[in-house]
Structure 1
């Protein structure tokens, strides 16, 4: 069946119109922009959390270096790390604080060091981004110098 030329021209004009193409383009581009935004938020969260965990390790190492006993140094470092993370608003799924207090055993007059390593699992699951792991493990280590001439208890 052939259409009259006027009807055929009208049908071709309707087919050639771009009406609705903006909606289709928006439907394609919007999810990509949302994913890009979520990736930027994830990257920002990793960078800021890393900096805050570095600060917590520094606070913990300083607290351990001014302690006079081994057990006191470990307890003070763990408490300082937990306090610092809480003050900065970092919510870790799991936190591990490792303290090396061997620098407290050096004789008076010699410089010793105390090192603290903090490992924190930062949650990423709330971003709802496909392909992003549920959490990212961040580790920070800081070493603080023990005063060479202060008294120490073994």
Structure 2
């Protein structure tokens, strides 16, 4: 070794940048997955609310035809009001509870199915779609007159 020259030890300069480059993509991916999961849960809650609105609306009508039309309209209005853009909506209404005699308890059941593009639901540009389904039941007033 020459006099006056020193061997420099290897320091850890730049290691923070390398650590960040390794860790940051994973953290960002977890954050995106958490946001996507939250949006899925929120969308399921919106479908649940639409099914409940439709069932309640159907249960207050006297005829099966008017109950089905009202349930479809209520589900569509609820989904639009909540900002959930469905590419297709299916509303199935079971109005059997409207046919029970006055004085007996009947129920109306509504199932709402909404197909949502993943680009609207999770991340812009994401291909594919997800079908969300919910059902709700509402009691028909047992003393209310029913139509024919």
Whether TM-score is above 0.5 comes out as yes
User: Following superposition, which runs of at least 4 residues in structure 1 exceed 3 angstroms of deviation?
Assistant: 4-8, 122-129, 132-136
User: Structure 1: 5+ residue runs without aligned partners?
Assistant: none
More displaced, 17-26 or 38-47?
17-26
In structure 1, the residue matched to 2:137 is: 143
Equivalent of residue 35 in structure 2, options 30, 38, 41? 41
Contact 1:42 1:124 in 2 (8 A): no
The alignment's TM-score, normalised by the length of structure 1, stands at 0.81
Count of residues paired in the alignment: 145
> Over alpha carbons, which structure has the higher Rg?
1
SS of 1:113's partner is strand
1:90 to 84, 89, 95: 84
Please list the CA deviations of residues 24-76 of structure 1 after superposition, one character each: whole Å capped at 9, or x if unmatched. Answer: 11111111111111111111112111122111111100100111211111110
TM-score by length of 2: 0.84
CA contact (8 A) 1:49 1:122 kept: no
Q: What is the root-mean-square deviation of aligned Cα atoms in Å? A: 2.4
Unaligned runs of 5+ in 2: none
